[in-house]
Every structure is written in C-alpha cells, then in structure tokens.
Amino acid sequence: MTDRLTIVLHAASVRRGRKWVLRDIHWRLRPGERWALLGDNGAGKTQLLKLLSGDVWPTPRGRETHGAGRQYRLGRRPADLIDAKSRVAYVGAELQDKYARYGWNLAVRDLVATGLHRTDLLLRPIRAAEAARVTAMLQACGLSRHAGRPFLSLSYGQKRLTLLARALVQRPDWLLLDELYNGLDSAYRRRIDAVLDAARRRGQSWVATAHRAVDVPHATRRLLQLDQGEVHAVKAVQASDLARLRRRAGERARAPARVAAAKTARTRASATELLRLSQVDLYVDYRPVLRKLDWRLRKGEHWAVYGANGSGKSSFLKLLYGDLSPALGGRIERSGIPRGTPIGEWKRQVGYVSPELQSDYAVNVTVMDLVVSGRYSSIGLVDAPTAPDRKAAARWLKFFGLLSVAGQRPRELSYGQLRRALIARAMAADARLLLLDEPLTGLDPRQRAIMKRLLQRLMKRLTLVIAVHHAEDLPRGMTHALRLHNRRAYPLDSQSAT
C-alpha cells in the first residue's frame, strides 16, 4: 500500500468571498481507510472534498505554522498536485448536474470510458484493452444492457450508477463520494452497496459525505463531523451501528403516511377540476414511460406521487407542467386553457421545482432577480424587474425567510436556502398549482423540517403535487396518493400513501 496516496491537511482553511467555509482543518487520510464526512447544509463538506481533490487551494490565514496547508504523499516521498489529482475520482450530484446542464448526452459506454482519460468528453477512440476494461466495469455495475443508451435518457439512479462506474474504471486511490445516496430508492442503494463492497475487497479507499449516518456506505469505518467549517468530532464507527440506523430508516420509509381524504371527499364533486388526463401514453426519447393514464386533479387536492427510480415520477410532473406532451390518441385538458392556447399561458399559473432546476440555475443574478424570473417562467431576466415584480418577489422571499440574502448570488447560498429560493421563484406569479420533484432531496434534517412546515402553509393557498420516494418526506395534509409502477399509475386508498 506504500505506493498509494496519503492526504494530509494541517491547519488548512478555505475562504469564499468574505466567508471562511473551512477553518483550521487537521486530517490525515491513509491508504485503505474509508471515511464518512457528516455535516448539515453549509457545513463545508463539499468544499472539503474539493480541498482533498486539489480542485480548491487552501487560503492563507497569515498565522500558519510551518507545513500548514495540504500535503500529498506516496509512501515516504512527496507527491505533486498533478500526480495526486490523477489518483482521486469524484462522484456526486455536481458532476451529474454538469452533464445535464451542458447537454452532454454520451452513450453510457463512452461516458464510462471518459474516466480512463479523466476528461468530460471522449476525445479519442478507446483502444481494445481500454474497451475490455470498460466492458468489465459495466458488467460489474449491472449496466451492460444500457451500454448503448444516451446518458441523459437514464433514470436518476442509473445515472448515479454510471458515474460511479466512470470513477471506478479509473482505479483511483481515493473515491470522493458526495451525497452518493441522495435521490436513490432502496433498490439502487443496494446495487451501489454491492459495487462498493467489491471495491472495498480490492482495497479501495473513500470519503463519503452525508447529512445522516444512514446515508453512509456500510463498509465505512471512520467518521469526521463538520460544523460551520470546523471539525466537530472524529471517531470510529462499527458496521452494526450503520446497519441499525439503516433498518430504522427503512422502517420509517415504509410506514404508512396518513392522508386526510375524508374532508376532501365531501367536496370532491363540486371542486374545480384543474387537470384531466384521458388515455395518456407518454414517451421520452422514444421510450414508453406511462401507458393508458386516466387521472383528474381538483382544486384543493394534494397528491403524493410514489415510485422507484425510473418509474416515471419526474416525467409525470413534466407532463402536468407542459414540458412533455401525450402521445397521439391521449388527451390532457387544463382548466381555463382552451385547445390551441400557447402552453406559456398555463405555465404562468403553475410552479414547478426539480433538482435539475437547481443545477441549471447557475446564471449570475441576485436571489431577488432569481425569484422575479418566476413571474416570466425564465432562467434569468431579459428586462429589469418592475416595481410590482420586486414587491411580489419580496413578499415570497419574506415567506421563505430569505429577505436577508436577497442581494446575494445563488451559488453563495447554502443548498437548503437555494431550494427555498427556487420554490419562492415558483410562487412569484401566485401559482395555483405547485409541482415539486423530490423537494427534500439533499437537505439536512433541520432544513427538511423547515421545508415541510413551509409546504404545509402553502397547501392552504394552492394545490400541491409532490413526487417522493418515502412517506417521511411529505408534509402533513396530503389528501391523495398515486403510485407509478411498470408504466402504470395506481391510485392508493385514502388512508395510506405507501
């Protein structure tokens, strides 16, 4: 193991703008170790990963002792930054979002092959030996039958598994796994567990960030906890501890979510119908996603939409919003929107927030302008905001507790703050229907609780449709539930949303 990379941080700090995001970090990572890096949104976990990988430099504080900062070693000899970076591989939502943002739609086999060259795109044909290595990794990750599929056509879980294969094919000394399990159902969590177990048997080292111990790979044995950019705790963890936490989380996720449909049933017949889907077949990239869908949505109803990764939850919400259309023969009717009306008229009445929107919103605007853009269903603004625009945006920024950051840029916010800002953006035009795709994904427990309370307040104003994996991610007051499975939609009974 002496030829593998050791990473040493000694009193290392990082500043972003006026804020110190990491302060006086002392940490030694030895070959063969497997670390969990825990902390809330804004604790500095992602910045610490970037510091380890060499993508971020330590910021001098003016009072360092000799040797402060970051060091890389191969056995007893120092390693330079270029050599160190070639021995580290990153997997996380930031990379997944990058492919979506730039529309890099490589075939799965080609995307995995980019790991061999450590490039975003495939810059040259791969050789026979490299092709064999890619094929073996696809098989090890259970992706062989998807080898020819475009990456952006995959489900969320398939994308994450593909990026893990891309990292592992590099045979790195260190895997940096940033919130690896976020947005994944139990089946994909098990698949990734199996891939990481095989990597562990080969001696793989890793650092895995998470908000909760339950989202840590079960072969992890050491833990570092960050709190506001400083090391809060360092300790060993046992396999039995992680297994117990996972069991408890699984029990909570499977617990029935009570829905309050009784009151709604009495007014159902007289409620305004917002949407009606009749015999809808839905295709995405020529692949069938939903078949023979009949569904109605009435004002005041609040629907939970369940399904595994790849079941069609995100596509269903895009259909409701108007980004996707039914196949020939199906019909979707929207209240107050006669046939032939531009879809933009409907979108101005509907708020829609997805994890992809959070990754797309990299434009250099203030948070105030971000929220204003929701009044025009745009990314960024063409014209300067009007006084009514700013008044409406300020009202929703106050509702979501964000007035104090109205002048900041989106990338200066914590993950939880940006999620709230995007929902404020969705509400800026006083939407009557709000569509949310996994709104609690990536949030720490405190931010999750805040978000659920805010959603409960919103439900008094509008109709909500929210796609989730687990019942525990739902606010109180949901009235109906729909489960997507095998291209079909199954309404659940009024007392259980499982």
Domain finish residue from 253, 273, 298: 253
Asked whether residue 215 falls in the same domain as residue 276, the answer is no
- Whether the CB-CB separation of 423 and 431 falls below 8 Å is answered with no
pLDDT-above-90 percentage for the chain? 59
Asked whether residue 146 falls in the same domain as residue 287, the answer is no
- Whether the CB-CB separation of 178 and 49 falls below 8 Å is answered with yes
Average pLDDT over every residue of 387-411: 92
- Whether the CB-CB separation of 366 and 412 falls below 8 Å is answered with no
Asked whether residue 388 falls in the same domain as residue 362, the answer is yes
CATH code for the domain of 200: 3.40.50.300
Number of domains the chain is built from:
2
**496: in domain:** no
Query: Is it the case that residue 267 has pLDDT exceeding 50?
Result: no
pTM exceeds 0.95 for this model: no
Residues forming a β-bridge with 69: 10
Query: Is it the case that residue 36 has pLDDT exceeding 60?
Result: yes
Q: Which two tokens stand for residue 369?
A: 């302008």
Asked whether residue 187 falls in the same domain as residue 272, the answer is no
pLDDT at 169: 97
Widest CA span in the chain: 77
pLDDT at 379: 76
Average pLDDT over every residue of 34-50: 91
Q: 244: part of which helix (H) or strand (E)?
A: helix 239-254
**82: in domain:** yes
Give the model's confidence band at 344: pLDDT under 50 very low, under 70 low, under 90 confident, else very high: confident
d(CA 157, CA 180) in angstroms, rounded, equals 10
Average pLDDT over every residue of 422-435: 92
Asked whether residue 382 falls in the same domain as residue 451, the answer is yes
Give the model's confidence band at 404: pLDDT under 50 very low, under 70 low, under 90 confident, else very high: very high
Residue-wise over 245-283: b if at least 16 C-beta within 10 A, else e?
Answer: bbeebeeebeeebebebeebeeeeeeeeebbbbeebbbe
Average pLDDT over every residue of 261-268: 45
d(CA 281, CA 258) in angstroms, rounded, equals 30
Structural domain of residue 226, as residue ranges? 5-253
- Whether the CB-CB separation of 192 and 181 falls below 8 Å is answered with yes
Q: What is the pLDDT of residues 433-468, one digit of tens each?
A: 999 999 988 888 888 899 999 999 999 999 999 999
d(CA 388, CA 379) in angstroms, rounded, equals 19
pLDDT at 364: 76
- Whether the CB-CB separation of 335 and 364 falls below 8 Å is answered with no
Asked whether residue 236 falls in the same domain as residue 260, the answer is no
DSSP string, 29-86: E-TT-EEEEE--TTSSHHHHHHHHHTSSPPPP-S-PPTT-EEEEEETTEE--HHHHHT
Q: What is the pLDDT of residues 105-148, one digit of tens each?
A: 999 999 999 999 999 999 888 999 999 999 999 999 999 999 99
pLDDT-above-70 percentage for the chain? 90
Give the model's confidence band at 382: pLDDT under 50 very low, under 70 low, under 90 confident, else very high: confident
Asked whether residue 349 falls in the same domain as residue 389, the answer is yes
